[in-house]
Amino acid sequence: MSNMAPELTFTTLEEIDEIYTTLNKTFRSGKTKPIAFRKVQILQLGYLLQDNIERFREALAVDLGRPPLESSFLELDSTISDCKIAYDRVDKWARTEKAPFNIKFAAFRPAIRKEPKGVVLSISPFNYPVWLALGPIIGAIAAGNCVVLKPSELSPAISGLIAELIPKYLDNDVVRVVLGAVTETSKLMEYQWGHVLYTGSGRVAKLIGVAAAKTLSPISLELGGKSPVVIDPKCDFKIAARRILWGKCANAGQTCVAPDYVLVPRSSEDAFVKALKDAHDEFYPSGAITTPDISSIINPAHFHRLKKLLDSTAGTIAFGGQTDESRKFIAPTVVKGVKDEDSLMSEELFGPILPIMPVDDVDAAIAYINAHDHPLALYCFSPDAAFKNKVFDNTQSGSAIANDVMIHCATDGLPFGGIGPSGSGYHTRTFSFDMFTHLRASLDSPGWVDNIIGGRFPPYSPGKLASLKRFRVKLPPRPISANGHAL
């Protein structure tokens, strides 16, 4: 594959109309509901990746300058794994559930049907253009939906490859790709959807949310924010520094859950910065400038945004700071002595720049976190359970991770999602299935039940009221305050 990103041919507005009409017709036909059909499509998606894995690595190198190991570890292998998990578990996920037993309602045989929401839309970002594009499709297909994927125009090599391969591997009446930018996305948001998943920036999320509200389309948002790291001075600085620096440098820091900044006790700042420098020298023994192991910034606009933030900092660059516009390259950079009003603290960085903010103690760290938007992830490095609990119990974030970074996204059984400004809703694996599934309440009432609750029917009378009193619940004893009085 050429190192030049291909030019995408955008989907026409007329084609978008046809796609929406076709997928709605398919869904109404019931084609996607059999579990066997869903499993075939899920497995085909897995083979789409496996058969073309080298092409995907090459495309990721074109779009992001990403090293092959990172491409495999960060998203290709995990997306194939997600296909296998969904294939193995969709029978269980989709099974109708009996409601919890309650003697008063057992005769109605209450149940929860797991039903697809219909035709759903996923708008995916440039930074993880495989996992965040195909991962939600796995859940949507497993749930029995038809899917429109709108991948990012900022990663044209991957988006073009996905658009080429999906019609070859998946049912074209069930899954379709729309290529485009603002105009095409705006057109898509004119329709009513069974569900919309948007992954990207908070600024665009507000526009997507307003557009979805106009059609009453339910929506999930996976956004980001400034994910902090809280350092306990008693933690192993070597281990913490290696893991934090890896999370900040992987994919050139263009990860929504990358550690954005570090809160460290003032007395430990220099020691921790030294541990980061040691990790840097271990990772890049020949220097960051010439290593092939660092990705590129996605485009010139993001490069210049990051460079401007770095050039404006009042902190001290401990190491790094080199930039190369021709390669869209920014070296791993640690800036110490950063304060709240610094340029590096003004927005989510989304790049390989790590501000170190010294604080007086853990209480000051917690206060700083709580004074800002809830982050998508919060990291804490400590061997002390009480320290970790204090941080997690007194803050809010999408996830609360101790002694590592980022790997929770790929951990089977954990939801991935934000809270407040960092997002709403959850996905990955079973949670993707749940997001695209309607829980449909169901019961079947036998005729003889009217012998028991016939008092509900008019004409009402004191006798009927008395007959229904037996269904009232009895509350536990009233709470008593410390002084013995009722609350």
Would you call 124 helix, strand, or coil by DSSP? coil
Give the residue from 181, 177, 180 showing the smallest Cα distance to 162: 177
Question: Are the C-beta atoms of residues 192 and 216 closer than 8 Å to each other?
Answer: yes
113 φ, ψ (degrees, to nearest 5): -85, 135
Which residue(s) pair with 330 in the sheet? 323
269: annotated active-site residue = no
List 222, 269, 348, 409, catalytic entry: 222
14: annotated active-site residue = no
Interior CA angle at 216 toward 212 and 221, to 5°? 45
| 408 CB neighbour count, 10 Å cutoff | 18
Give the residue from 197, 126, 188 showing the smallest Cα distance to 159: 126
- Tell me the torsion sign for CA atoms 4, 303, 163, 52: positive
Task: Name residues whose C-beta falls within 8 Å of residue 310's C-beta, 6 or more positions apart in sequence.
Answer: 317, 321, 323, 330, 333, 335, 343, 344, 353
What CA–CA distance (Å, rounded) separates 352 from 16? 37
List 256, 269, 380, 409, catalytic entry: 256
Catalytic site positions: 222, 256
